[in-house]
Amino acid sequence: MKNKLLYFLFISSLLCSTLQAKNDLYEKIDLFGEVLENIKKEYVDEVDQTKMMDSAINGVLQSLDPYSAYMSPELFKEMQTDTRGEFGGLGIEIGMESGVIKVISPIDDTPAARAGIKAGDYIVKIGDEQVQGKSLIEAVKLMRGPVGTSIDLTVMRKNIKKPLEFKIVRQIIEVQSVSSRAVGKDKNLGYIRLKSFNENSDKQFLKSVKNLEKKFNVKGYVLDLRNNPGGLLTQAINITDFFLDDGEIVSTKGRKISETRKFFARRGDATKGKPIIVLINNGSASASEIFAGALKDHKRAIIVGENSFGKGSVQSIIPLGNGGGMRLTISKYYLPSGKSISEVGVTPDILVEEEGDNFQINSDKDNQLNYAIKLFNS
């Protein structure tokens, strides 16, 4: 009898809490309707209620994380249209932070990188338009345009009080994801720069390793993932697998069973266990962080540079009934150690910050690369 009473009380408590949660939700919906009605009646200017509702929907999504967003039917259709050959870009990967557009990374050999845009810059104006309050997708739309036309970007940069202005000419962005060369005094180190994880990155990467091994007496590798904004998860797994004989590479966890998976290395190390240094910075994001984090956790590489960006989530585009769409985070990445990358990133084993105003990746002024080369010879 006592057990039955306890069970009844438990069920009653559960039902009460569920009903209370529903009542709280309905009260909030009523409150939202009241706010809209007061805006309609009392606000100083006449308001386009359709646009206001779009902003409200987008606000709900952006309150979840910086990568979820709403697209109106017009914007969704435009984003779905293949504009190759007509529209150009600037060559930057962007994200949201506290309602402001933040540069995740400029891509090598693109207009933005050549103009001097840096990872961590905050874009405050695009042309004459203030960015504050705009969605990520709206900002992308503003930056797109016909090839050969220019756009002015105004950015705020850490440790610089005045805003910086850049005039950038749009181009078709074609990224050759892998480049390589021999470095070091005796040309006995393989330097491989991985700019993104696209469809053919793993093949290009393995080809670079084979060419370096064939032409030089390579004793170790410097793998450069600085300003690499990420790309395809499958490519990150394949390239990480080159350096591991076994063990977990990455796992994803979501609410759906289909989004909860683990990925493991297959037997065989393409470099036969040669020492590796991985270079990262604030512009290394997503797939780059999976690669660097997995090699760090397996103690397969020394990570040098600056803390990575901290984008450890997967987004899906979901069409909506009105013809619009939403970009929604559906799962998160976890390193072999079980740690999440989200908002934390990968911490380097050795912190080496950029030095000097003339710093340029993969040049004589690249103090981070120079440090990595010296580390092999120490």
Domain boundaries, the chain: 76-169, 178-313+330-377
pLDDT above 60 for 15: no
Top mean pLDDT of 62-66, 174-178, 278-282, 328-332 is at 278-282
AA identity, residue 23? N
Q: Do domains 76-169 and 178-313+330-377 have the same CATH topology?
A: no
Higher local confidence (pLDDT), 11 or 51? 51
Q: What is the pLDDT of residue 132?
A: 80
- Hey, how many other C-beta atoms are within 10 angstroms of the C-beta on 365? 15
CA atoms in the 13 A half-sphere facing the CB of 133: 7
Q: Which of 286, 308, 313, 331 is catalytic?
A: 286
Of the residues 108, 311, 313, 331, only one is catalytic, namely 311
Mean pLDDT of the residues in the chain: 86
Q: Which residues in 103-114 are b (16+ Cβ under 10 Å) and which e? A: bbbbbbebbbbe
CB atoms within 10 A of CB 95: 19
Closest CA to 209 of 195, 198, 220: 220
- Model confidence at 79, pLDDT cuts 50, 70, 90, reads low
For the domain 76-169, what is the CATH code? 2.30.42.10
Q: Is residue 297 annotated as part of the catalytic site, yes or no? A: yes
pLDDT at 376 over 60: yes
353-367 pLDDT tens trace: 998 777 888 888 899
115 in Cβ contact with 170 (< 8 Å):
no
Residue 206: strand, helix, or coil: helix
Angle at 44 between CA 37 and CA 73, to 5 degrees: 60
Task: Give the rounded percent of residues in the chain with a pLDDT score beyond 90.
Answer: 47
Per-residue pLDDT band at 11 (split at 50, 70, 90) = low
What secondary structure letter does DSSP report for 347? -
Residue 119: pLDDT band (50, 70, 90) is confident
Chain-centroid distance, C-alpha 20: 39
SS3 248: strand
286 given a catalytic annotation: yes
Q: How many angstroms separate the Cα of 33 from the Cα of each of 26, 27, 30, 39, 206?
A: 11, 10, 5, 10, 58
297, 308, 313, 331: which is the annotated catalytic residue?
Answer: 297
pLDDT in tens, 148-169: 899 999 999 988 889 999 999 9
Return the CATH architecture of domain 178-313+330-377.
Answer: Alpha-Beta Complex (3.90)
Q: Which two tokens stand for residue 88?
A: 């150009």
